[in-house]
Amino acid sequence: MNPYLEALQPKLSLQDLKKLSAIDNPIVHEFIAKASDLCRPDKLFICSDAPEDIAYVRQQAIATGEERAILSLQGHTVHFDGINDQGRDRAATKYLVPRGITLSKALNQIDRQEGLAEVKGLLRDSMIGRTMIVRFISLGPPDSVFTILGLQCTDSWYVAHCEDLLYRPGYGQFVKAGPKSDFLRVLHSAGRLNEDMVSVDYEKKRIYIDNMDNTIYSVNTQYAGNSVGFKKLAFRLSIRKASSEGWLSEHMLLMGVYGPNKRKTYFAGAFPSACGKTSTAMLPGETILGDDISYIRDIDAVARAVNVECGIFGIIQDVNPKDDQLIYKVLTRPGEIIFSNVLVKDGKPYWLGMGQELPKDGTNFSGAWFEGKKDEAGNEIPPAHKNARYAVSLRALENCDPELDNPAGVELGGIMYGGRDAKAYVPVQQSFDWCHGIIAYGASLETETTFATLGKEGVPEINMMSIQDFISIPLGQNVRNNLEFGKKLKKAPIIFGVNYFLRDLNNGKYLNSPQDKHVWIKWMELRVHKEAEAIKSPTGYLPKYEDLRRLFKQVLDKDYSKEDYTKQFTIRVPENLAKIERVQRFYQENVSDTPLELFGILYLQRERLLKAKANFGDYIPPEKFED
């Protein structure tokens, strides 16, 4: 027995010792032993992914009170994060950077030694009186070129239960992998908890990413985006790994879109949180492979992709039976689901925007809730949080794509980038080529801060490829990686820009309904196969009115007026020029390694806009470009 297993033996049952000993990797044993020595749990539980182990995790999540079995439908539980731990915390999330190395100024960072001392100080003795749960994860389908192994040690049964729903089991992969296998590591403690099982030392919340050791440290938080280490946290490490190995780790949905004669075309799509990503991935009649993170590889000069996960940690606000039929159906029938930060009354979960009146009292993230209840700062507490969530297996959805676990992934026909852009970009447009799409739609992706991230909402910001919060390499290098990846493909996916949040400049009303996105998706599918014409504008290829009119009738049984088309697809020259200025300024001020190609492509876009302005004025309806 190696010294690490020997050190762990007093805290392991014979069965758990046997499970851990079956993994012939001393680095695994070392990580667990050092985590145990630092956090000092009373005992360890090694989850082997056997049915009885999975059942035990769920049972303990309820027994400890981290989840409450107060919902009437079988399999439904609810978890509350408290008032002060309701989203990804940018200020508390930092990269540990060795002295002499500096990441892009847009990224939070701290001296590695200083950060390690701080976070380990907070983790020290944090698990006294508790069990450390050890989970083994397979990121991507098992036994695949895409597979990345992950190990998490946590004292939260809720976190461990979430991982059952969101990830493929990895214990068997670790057993097969042998002594030299590489893996990502996460050490998490919820910290001190109150009687409601909520992390109370939120002011000492720390989420630190150690690139040098492929390790995530998370403490004094339970919110899954900060604590389920293989969500956005390990994503940061996989971005670095992908950069060094020549593939892409992206914040992208994966979906199959049906075209004529039941043809299916696969799309990836990058959207910041609360910008329509999950609702796009779940469009009725199409198939879903994933709604969050994708690995994309060049396999025989073809872009192929997999979903890193096999479940959804989705925002529940505005999920209703009209706009989100598939997920609403899943959320309102028996099955294993963890709701978080919703309102509960008489055994039923309620959330904002669900399409019905909410109760005037109940239980929510603040405890016993009643209409008009205020927090310590005097702000009225809503019945459910804007960032309330659900965790569910993808396989619970009727439209889960059969290729979900294909070890070879799926071939991408298209990639879309979408943010919250009230003034400039049209609802859907196609790039002129791969490089134009990466720069004009991906690197220039602009959005507004939302409730999914702590801080002020509604602040416009560049969110490069929807990956900026998670990037662990120089930002310019990420742009360069994307440019080079597509140049090597024999048939690169077509890149589209989408914008569900364009507003009327006069009255501020949205120009799209939530359902309209389905038409944009169907048009993109046709464009991939060159079965729809397009109009060349200064910012990209635009749909033709007749094609959209036909698609609106086919897809939504809706009459689409020429007036709506003109409002939606008029090129707004001043707003587009201002957007280019903001993008250029961001890269000039924050990204010292920006590829010159970015500035060149933006320069050409500006010149096209200025030429169009000279010919047609500031606001140009699409038909002006048809000649």
Q: Which residues are catalytic?
A: 275
Alpha-helical (H) ranges within 9-138 are 14-21, 26-39, 51-63, 112-123
Burial of 144 (0-12, 13-18, 19+ CB in 10 A): middle
Task: Answer whether 122's CB lies under 8 Å from 38's CB.
Answer: no
Pairing of strands 184-189, 76-79: unpaired
Spatial CA neighbour of 523 closest among 479, 478, 568: 568
Task: Answer whether 397's CB lies under 8 Å from 288's CB.
Answer: yes
Task: Answer whether 1's CB lies under 8 Å from 87's CB.
Answer: no
Task: Answer whether 110's CB lies under 8 Å from 97's CB.
Answer: yes
Task: Answer whether 324's CB lies under 8 Å from 397's CB.
Answer: no
* Alpha carbon 111 to its chain's center: 27
Host H or E run for residue 429: strand 428-430
Sheet containing strand 311-315, strands side by side: 76-79, 337-340, 389-393, 311-315
Spatial CA neighbour of 316 closest among 392, 252, 368: 392
- Token look-up 């239980």 returns 363
β-strand partners of 392: 312, 337
Tokens coding 25: 């990797």
SS (HEC) of 395-407:
HHCCCECCCCCCC
CA dihedral sign of residues 304, 308, 309, 312: negative
Distances (CA, A) of 136 to 44, 171, 186, 215: 14, 5, 10, 14
Alpha-carbon distance of 228 to 532, in angstroms, equals 43
- How many of the other CB atoms lie within 10 Å of CB of 41? 22
Collect all residues with Cβ–Cβ distance below 8 Å to 59 and sequence separation of at least 6.
none
Pairing of strands 109-111, 131-139: unpaired
DSSP assigned state of 453: B
Collect all residues with Cβ–Cβ distance below 8 Å to 10 and sequence separation of at least 6.
none
State which amino acid sits at residue 404.
Answer: L
DSSP characters over 320-384: -TTT-HHHHHHHTSSS-EEEES-EEETTEEE-TTSSSPPPSEEEETTEEEETT-B-TTSPBPPSS
Angle at 436 between CA 431 and CA 437, to 5 degrees: 55
Rg (CA), the chain: 24
Tokens coding 26: 């001393």
